[in-house]
Structure 1
Amino acid sequence: MSKMTDKLDVMAYLERINYKGPCEPNIDCLRQLHVAHLTSVPFENLSIHCGEGIVLDLLLVYDKVVRRHRGGFCYELNRLFAWLLEQLGFHVILISASVFHLYTRRYGPPEDHMLLLVTLSSGLHVLADVGFGSGFRLPLFLEDGRRDAQVNGTFRLRLDSAMWLMEQLNFTGMEPNTPGCVPKNGDVWVPRFKFNLTEKCWGDFSAMSIYQQVSPASLCCCKSLCSKHLPNGAITYMGWRVISTIYEDGKARKTTRQILEEEIPAFLKDTFGFTLPNKLIPRDEPIQENCSNQHPLQH
């Protein structure tokens, strides 16, 4: 173990995600860890909106998530989760995805999102993702067309030429004529992101990490948000809104209420369990579309 990683504690991480199950590198353990992580660690970008820079450094991410009980975005959470899985004996590689953005109805640039491809001892490949916010709750087997009904929706992976598409059935707010959607017999499969299986290193995401923090075409830059899965729903803070979601009978029922700026720090503490180091500047602005599909190095 390196001098860097010997400062990271597996047991403290497991305690942070309230995981008390077995730690064997198999699919049952992976599924339990995945759910534990999503229901304990929020997807959040509040560092961007409180003057706290995001640096892709494993010690810093560990300190933020495990010791300070914060969350993070995909480049932070999935990389840290990959480290945990590796320590428990799983074979994991990082891969990149382009997200189908619900606001712009277009795919984002390469390295827009970071995913984990886990190979089990049986040789089966499984997609894991604890850094997408509203994505699948349980890992998905890398199998073309396989439907996976979960608490928060039905998902599938579909192979299209050299690209894999992660799609969600009848996702809220999307119509059959939305570009990229696949309507069939009354159902609408909505694209969430697309990816290939090329292995990436963490440094490959550095430019996109900066882009997400500063670009007016980035959701993370335009909207201050924090979201966490609940056993039968989700709770999301965005700008000056709190969105509560309950999953019932395969449908999502959402309610929204306004929150005053002075109420936000207490809400974050009570709901997500953390206090920000600096004053939060709430933000909920439209996302610019004209550069959403360009790579940040082209700007």
Structure 2
Amino acid sequence: MFDTETYLKHLGYTGTLEPTADNLRELHKRHMMTVPFDNSRNAAKGLAIWDDVDAGADHFFQALIAEGRGGICHEHCGLFRTLLAELGYDVKVIASGVRGANDQFGPDLEHMLATVRLAGADWLVDVGFAGPSFTEPVRVSEDVQEQNGFAYRVVEDGAHLVLQRRPGGRDWQAVYRFTLRERELSEWKAIASGENDDPYWHWAGEMIRAGTLIYGRAYETGQLLLVGRRYLRAEDGSDHTRVLAKTDEYESVVRHVLRQDA
């Protein structure tokens, strides 16, 4: 059963409960530091990953907090937005299409995240994106916002908004594109049932069906991301990447990212 006090204790959060920007930043970062991204329970499901998109906060709380497991985007999003709503934040679900290796964006419903309306501004809230991305909310604005040596901004691109990220001394690169239109969970259920005929899912679905294991977690000054055997550590404005060829090293990194060696 979802329990706000237990959730906050899991995050190690001891601040005030007022819905402020500073508190939102700390809650967001603490979630990403203590609740890892882990698709290993869902990697073999293909587009059926959306089957339990509407399972509810109690279900996600049991898996990610009570049992201490990691999860995927809609599990993180469903859990965290429930916490924010309980604390009085104005939160809604939105969707994004992620930039692929060919610089093309995936379907608009490829990823689930949320926005918070606070002090007259919209903030991107995304604790369930494997990354690398932001660890604290990003204001929906072209103003440059710095985190851990990386710069972020949101720019217009036709009918979409695009979240961009810039490592130190490098060019801007898109992370994903989105709109601020509130989404219904039934839209993702339509994907799982095959009712959604968006042609982009033909290739995005194949990528999901590949079953690559992905693990991710934030820490105080950056992020860790393991995609297959490719290990990325993002901190101080730099992305450091290497391939883990040895099985024992790979398994050690998985345990570290999942906090199983803590």
Shorter-chain TM-score: what band?
0.7 to 0.9
SS at match of 1:46: coil
Letter in 1 for 2:165: Q
SS at match of 1:235: strand
SS at match of 1:168: strand
Q: Which has the larger radius of gyration?
A: 1
SS at match of 1:206: helix
After TM superposition, give the deviation of residue 47 of structure 1 in Å: 0.7
SS at match of 1:126: strand
Letter in 2 for 1:236: L
Q: Paired residue for 1:254? A: 241
Q: Aligned partners of 1:244, 1:262: CA distance in 2, in Å?
A: 14
After TM superposition, give the deviation of residue 146 of structure 1 in Å: 0.9
Q: Aligned partners of 1:85, 1:271: CA distance in 2, in Å?
A: 25
Q: Aligned partners of 1:15, 1:209: CA distance in 2, in Å?
A: 34
Residues 1:228 and 2:211 are matched in the alignment: no
Q: Paired residue for 1:131? A: 128
Identify which of 109, 112, 118 aligns with 1:114: 112
SS at match of 2:114: strand
After TM superposition, give the deviation of residue 210 of structure 1 in Å: 7.5
Q: Percent identity?
A: 25
1:34–1:105: structure 2 CA closer, same or farther, 3 Å change rule? same
| Gapped regions of structure 2 (runs ≥ 5) | 195-200
C-alpha distance after superposition, 1:261-283 (max 9, x if no partner): 8973x7645541469xxxxxxxx
C-alpha distance after superposition, 1:147-175 (max 9, x if no partner): 1111162110012333211011258xxxx
Normalised TM-score (structure 1): 0.73
Aligned 8 A contact 2:217 2:257 in 1: no
Paired residue total: 247
After TM superposition, give the deviation of residue 189 of structure 1 in Å: 1.5
1:114–1:251: structure 2 CA closer, same or farther, 3 Å change rule? same
Identify which of 213, 223, 233 aligns with 1:245: 233
Q: Paired residue for 1:71? A: 70
Aligned 8 A contact 1:149 1:155 in 2: yes
Q: Paired residue for 1:36? A: 30
Residues 1:200 and 2:199 are matched in the alignment: no
1:210–1:9: structure 2 CA closer, same or farther, 3 Å change rule? farther
Q: Aligned partners of 2:15, 2:218: CA distance in 1, in Å?
A: 19
Aligned 8 A contact 2:222 2:233 in 1: yes
Letter in 2 for 1:142: V
1:244–1:140: structure 2 CA closer, same or farther, 3 Å change rule? closer
1:146–1:262: structure 2 CA closer, same or farther, 3 Å change rule? closer
Q: Aligned partners of 1:19, 1:104: CA distance in 2, in Å?
A: 40
After TM superposition, give the deviation of residue 68 of structure 1 in Å: 1.2
1:263–1:151: structure 2 CA closer, same or farther, 3 Å change rule? closer
| Gapped regions of structure 1 (runs ≥ 5) | 1-6, 172-185, 276-299
Letter in 2 for 1:217: M
Q: Paired residue for 1:215? A: 205
Q: Aligned partners of 2:158, 2:24: CA distance in 1, in Å?
A: 29
CA RMSD of aligned residues (A): 3.0
Give 1:1-299 correspondences, 5 Å limit: 7-49=1-43, 54=49, 55-56=52-53, 57-58=55-56, 59-101=58-100, 103-120=101-118, 122-133=119-130, 134-143=132-141, 145-151=142-148, 153-170=150-167, 188-208=171-191, 215-218=205-208, 221-239=210-228, 241=229, 243-248=231-236, 250-260=237-247, 264=251, 268-269=254-255, 271-273=257-259
After TM superposition, give the deviation of residue 65 of structure 1 in Å: 0.5
Normalised TM-score (structure 2): 0.82
SS at match of 1:215: helix
Letter in 2 for 1:166: L
Aligned 8 A contact 1:34 1:137 in 2: yes
